[in-house]
Structure 1
């Protein structure tokens, strides 16, 4: 009975984001393992589900990601869990067309879905949505992370697919991203490091070996302890931009996997961050048939622009970057 009462209380505490549930550890609840505490206060949550949420870096204690299910909760600690909405209740997102000809097309990838097929064959992806809308023979040419929005390219015929993939391989594709981060980065900086995949679905820097990554960064605006950063990756490794910024002390807002804050304070108000604030704004490359220079951009998404305006005021740079 007590667990149900507390669960209802936690549901009422997250009006800003229905996926985010909060609880404050009570005086008599201290000393429990974090996963045990979670199943007591969040209605319908099993211990296996609690452990999975912790492993996915979706649980924070006093604003910091907690990765240990064995963490002993302390009275007064603020426990926050970011739940994924149930697949069956989630309306399939729209996949907007940015460009199309007989050789390739570009779509505007929405957040919260993977780019391509995953280990779960029934999972909704941008690739499945694009094939359903624009043709079953499309070939995915690159990937964006699940919560990253922006330009995603598909080949329509084999020759175009090979040509564009070769441009990616030779690093001839010019990519521009926008990120909103914590901290005050330098006006301009480059990051070159080697990384490798590690357990937990993430990457880490390594002193030797691994894969080389390189990105150039330009800080466009700074306010309220945060910054708007333009990112131009020269390589295209998994989580490259996310790790590089985090490793330099400027994690992307909402990026739980790499220490990004789930909310920021502006004066007396707290601003909830709905997802990782990373947007793939533009790609530029040579057309696979004509050789003409192509430049395709994705409009700044509403949630990204809303957070940017709240933090930095009227951001003229974003207005100039409209497609």
Structure 2
């Protein structure tokens, strides 16, 4: 929920947090300060993270109010990274964490944590989000360390020259060991996409990795990069992902979709690859359904 108000003459000159408390009486001062600190406050569409910032008449204040449980601090150390060289780094994004900033949040996102890590190395470069994972999806995310690296990997992503491998757990057992869905994807409403015409070309290859008791672990290779592509193509195959309630999947502790690996070739011809291990939530779901992950 985003709350907005225009500052009048009565509140001009007040500190942001004091003025906001009067202008948004439904929020406590503690809530307002948390929103400011976490990057959920803008004034005239510019991010403001200083509670003492003086207000001016005519300022448009917008506060993004999110659930307290989403205020999760994340940080990365060198030993946490999946890959790092002079041009790129890769992290294992956790399920339930936003890839990049939202109107509600800057801190607690992968983007913010990566930028903080880069600053610790003395870099002045921003964390450039050149590909995203849905909030419920875990796994590999690559970040370029400078503009030239960003241009290179962005070109490779656009040309389909980055190999991305996902693992997904679905209820039931597919009729085939492997198959490909070649079906256009279109936006249906604010939250959902689906196979529809007119839509954007989308193609995903699927392969059975392991079968358990009432569930199957699949490998998915998206050849295009449409929003919710794997999720939509699995629904189209009558195999919604467990935990993906948006698309009819069974309720679970998390959405069982994980970017297992990404690989591409650097500007100087060197292979670059990162592989992300499954988290405990995904592993527990595998154990619950009798799917053996040892050695995969």
Select 2:68's aligned residue among 77, 80, 87. 87
**Counterpart residue number, 1:176:** 165
Distance between the aligned counterparts of 2:229 and 2:107, measured in 1?
Answer: 24
Deviations 1:39-81 (A, max 9, x none): xxxxxxxxxxxxxxxxxxxxxxxxxxxxxxxxxxxxxxxxxxx
Q: Does 1:115 align with 2:69?
A: no
Deviations 1:172-202 (A, max 9, x none): 0011010000121121010011111121311
Change (3 A) 1:244 1:165: same
Unaligned runs of at least 5 residues, structure 1: 1-84, 263-272
**Counterpart residue number, 2:295:** 320
Say which is worse superposed, 150-159 or 109-118, in terms of deviation: 109-118
**Counterpart residue number, 2:211:** 222
Change (3 A) 1:294 1:320: farther
Match of 1:166, SS? helix
Distance between the aligned counterparts of 1:200 and 1:164, measured in 2?
Answer: 29
1:304-315 maps to which residues of 2 (within 5 A)? 304-313=282-291, 315=292
Distance between the aligned counterparts of 1:94 and 1:149, measured in 2?
Answer: 16
TM-score normalised by the chain length of structure 1: 0.65
Instruction: Count the aligned residue pairs.
Output: 222
**Counterpart residue number, 2:145:** 156
Distance between the aligned counterparts of 1:279 and 1:182, measured in 2?
Answer: 16
Say which is worse superposed, 273-282 or 99-108, in terms of deviation: 99-108
Select 1:283's aligned residue among 262, 265, 285. 262
Distance between the aligned counterparts of 1:101 and 1:210, measured in 2?
Answer: 38
Distance between the aligned counterparts of 2:245 and 2:70, measured in 1?
Answer: 24
TM-score normalised by the chain length of structure 2: 0.71
Distance between the aligned counterparts of 2:70 and 2:263, measured in 1?
Answer: 37
Match of 2:184, SS? strand
Match of 1:319, SS? coil
**What is the RMSD computed on CA atoms of the aligned residues?**
1.8
Distance between the aligned counterparts of 1:91 and 1:120, measured in 2?
Answer: 13
**Counterpart residue number, 2:243:** 254
Select 2:126's aligned residue among 110, 134, 137. 137
Q: Per residue, is there more strand in 1 or in 2?
A: 1
Change (3 A) 1:189 1:306: same
Match of 2:232, SS? helix
Change (3 A) 1:184 1:245: same
Runs of 4+ residues over 4 Å off in structure 1: none
**Counterpart residue number, 2:28:** none
Distance between the aligned counterparts of 1:234 and 1:147, measured in 2?
Answer: 21
Distance between the aligned counterparts of 2:260 and 2:102, measured in 1?
Answer: 24
Distance between the aligned counterparts of 1:154 and 1:234, measured in 2?
Answer: 20
Change (3 A) 1:89 1:122: closer
Unaligned runs of at least 5 residues, structure 2: 1-65, 120-124
Deviations 1:214-234 (A, max 9, x none): 111001222222111011111
Change (3 A) 1:94 1:180: farther
